[in-house]
Amino acid sequence: MTTRTTNAERMIVFEGVSKFYGEILGVNRINLAIAPGITSLVGPNGSGKTTLMNLMTGLLRPTRGTISVLGTSPHDPEKLFRKVGYCSQFDSFPPGMTGREFIEFYLSVHGYTRGEVRDLTQAALERVSMQDAAGRKVAGYSKGMRQRIRLAQSLAHNPSVLILDEPLNGLDPMARAEIIRLFQSLAAEGLYLVISSHILHEVDMMSDSVVLMHNGYVVAEGDVHGVRGEIEEHPMQILVRCDRPQVLAARLFEHEHTIEARIHDDRRGLFVRTRRPDDFYLLLNRLVTENNLKVESVAPADDDLNAVYQYLIVSEGGRVS
């Protein structure tokens, strides 16, 4: 019992959570335990990502089930929001405010004293590299600067959990790389970052785990490679770059777990689809030795979030946003 309590205090836990908007399903029967690090929510529009985030922050109440954020109920805002920072997807700025005032205002609402507000604001601005532009009106900011200032307001009070709805939207590649580095540094310090995003390759790059959502249900969760390994109906695709791909293809077809072998357009590689990747790698070693093949590289071609998304969501009728 004690261990269970301790775990609940270290995780963001959803137990049988459903949310209905009247007769419309928001999310259904969600059971999740989110650990420290970067967890990405991925899914098409309307899949329930934002609903899940709003449930976590107590902005919506679940129709059924319970949620606990590091042992705190979302319905205890006084405790919850000392631990949680939230950045909504909306471009919501009160008119006429400078970046610094925007952060200071919401920190004041949070209950910090004026001195603390000043110090925390400065630290947050430095964290997102916005200290130079902080005195300018938000209305004059570029989209990337707005994203960063919103991010700053969500982390200004030093929360343990950061819930960020589409934080990479509108950022140019340089700014995205910078923000991802910030996320990674926060995660490395032990923060919980729950991020929703449509930019799959970047989610893949930065996430410790992903939660794939579709039509209000969690389709898969966990490490991307682990999730990919469990999708049995889509055999793993592996690209072998070698000097004689046609020889390798002929030998591979002698084995039943090889489903497809297709020579790369440049004729210096072979795409192989196999149901048993582990057996394939052992076989490849043998064939390379027996046939004296020169292999440049062997890499999974669909062991990433994009492939997982395609197999689990797009092929099931979802649309890529």
Partner 1 sequence: MALFENSYRPYEGGLTPEWARFLVLPRYALRDVFGSKFFTAVFCLCFIYPLVSAILVYLRHNSNAIAIMQIDVRELLPIGASFFQFFVEVQGWLAFILTVLVGPVLVSRDLTNNALPLYLCRPFSRAEYVLGKMTVLVILLSLVTWAPGLLLFLLQAYLEGAGWFASNAWMAGAIFVGSMTWIVLLSLLALAISAWVRWRVVAGAALLGMFFIPSALGGVVNQLFFTRMGNLISPAALMGSIWRGLFGHFRREVGSYEDAWGRGFVEVVIREPPLWASWLVVALICLACLWLLSRKVRAYEVIK
Q: DSSP H helical segments within the chain, as ranges? A: 2-10, 49-56, 77-83, 99-110, 114-127, 143-155, 173-188, 200-206, 224-229, 245-252, 277-291, 305-309
**Cβ proximity to partner 1, 189 vs 254, nearer residue:** 189
Is residue 44 classed as helix, strand or coil in its secondary structure? coil
Q: Is 69 in the site for partner 1 (CB under 8 A)?
A: no
CB of 150 to partner 1, least distance (A): 9
CB of 199 to partner 1, least distance (A): 20
CB of 250 to partner 1, least distance (A): 41
Q: 24-34 and 12-21: which strand pairing?
A: antiparallel
Tell me the two tokens of residue 266: 């440049």
Over the window 272 to 311, marking each residue x when it contacts partner 1 by CB under 8 A and - when it does not, the resulting string is ----------------------------------------
Q: DSSP H helical segments within 41-165, as ranges? A: 49-56, 77-83, 99-110, 114-127, 143-155
- Region of 218 on the Ramachandran plot (φ > 0 left; ψ -120 to 50 alpha; else beta): beta
**Cβ proximity to partner 1, 95 vs 173, nearer residue:** 95
Tell me the two tokens of residue 270: 């072979």
Of 18-57, binders to partner 1 (CB under 8 A) are 21-22, 36-37, 54, 57
Q: Tell me whether residue 93 is exposed, middle or buried, using C-beta atoms within 10 angstroms of its C-beta: 0 to 12, 13 to 18, 19 or more.
A: middle
Over the window 83 to 112, marking each residue x when it contacts partner 1 by CB under 8 A and - when it does not, the resulting string is xx-x-x-xxxxxxx--------xx-xxxxx
**Cβ proximity to partner 1, 112 vs 141, nearer residue:** 112
Question: Which range, of 153-161, 167-175, 211-219, 270-278, touches partner 1 by CB under 8 A?
Answer: 153-161
Tokens 């922050």 belong to residue: 57
CB of 223 to partner 1, least distance (A): 8
Spatial distance between the Cα atoms of 125 and 163, rounded to a whole number of angstroms: 18
Residue from 132, 173, 189, 232 binding partner 1 (CB under 8 A):
189
CB of 208 to partner 1, least distance (A): 5
Over the window 201 to 220, marking each residue x when it contacts partner 1 by CB under 8 A and - when it does not, the resulting string is -------x------------
**Cβ proximity to partner 1, 192 vs 280, nearer residue:** 192
Is residue 179 classed as helix, strand or coil in its secondary structure? helix
Backbone phi, psi, residue 221, to 5°:
-150, 155
Answer whether 27's CB lies under 8 Å from 20's CB.
Answer: no
Angle (CA) 196 11 310, round 5°: 35
Residue from 27, 151, 187, 238 binding partner 1 (CB under 8 A):
187
Binding site for partner 1 (CB under 8 A): 21-22, 36-37, 54, 57-60, 77-78, 80-84, 86, 88, 90-96, 105-106, 108-113, 116, 120, 153, 157-160, 186-191, 208, 223
